[in-house]
């Protein structure tokens, strides 16, 4: 089963939508092509500063990307610990919350 990666898929989709290669996009954002590839594949997450650069480059709200990162981390946790029913139910509840609400929760947790 393919791992869910909402953040990585969004970053890749925005790059492809602009017809940019990894090298072109990474150069303009200020990242290495390897790191951008790792973000898109879900292998890594950006620092707050790099996330801000990505948000500014693609003209999206940083909070939207933070929400996708949170979802991706939850999916990763579920994949790594599939037998924990209580955590699974909690994660399903969180993931059912719309992005605006989840963005608000992320802002509160980060403040």
pLDDT tens-digit profile of 51-91? 999 999 999 999 999 989 988 888 787 777 766 667 666 66
Dist CA 6 CA 3 (whole Å): 10
Residue % of the chain over a pLDDT of 70: 70
Residues 6 or more apart in contact with residue 41 via CB below 8 angstroms: 5, 8
SS3 content of the chain, % helix, strand, coil (to 5): 75, 0, 25
For residue 30, what pLDDT band results from cuts at 50, 70 and 90?
very high
For the entire predicted model, the pTM comes to: 0.75
Contact 12, 40 (CB under 8 A): yes
> Per-domain residue ranges for the chain?
6-110
Tell me the three state secondary structure of residue 21.
coil
Asked if CATH classification 1.10.260.40 holds for the domain at 6-110, the reply, yes or no, is yes
């Amino acid at each position: 089963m393919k791992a869910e990666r909402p953040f990585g898929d969004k970053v890749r989709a925005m790059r492809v939508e602009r017809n940019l290669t990894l090298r072109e996009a990474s150069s303009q954002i200020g990242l290495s092509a390897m790191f951008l590839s790792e973000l898109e594949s879900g292998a890594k997450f950006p620092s707050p500063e790099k996330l801000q650069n990505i948000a500014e480059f693609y003209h999206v709200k940083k909070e939207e990307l933070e929400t996708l990162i949170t979802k991706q981390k939850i999916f990763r946790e579920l994949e790594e610990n599939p037998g924990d029913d209580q955590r699974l139910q909690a994660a399903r509840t969180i993931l059912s919350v719309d992005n605006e609400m989840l963005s608000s929760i992320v802002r509160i947790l980060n403040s």
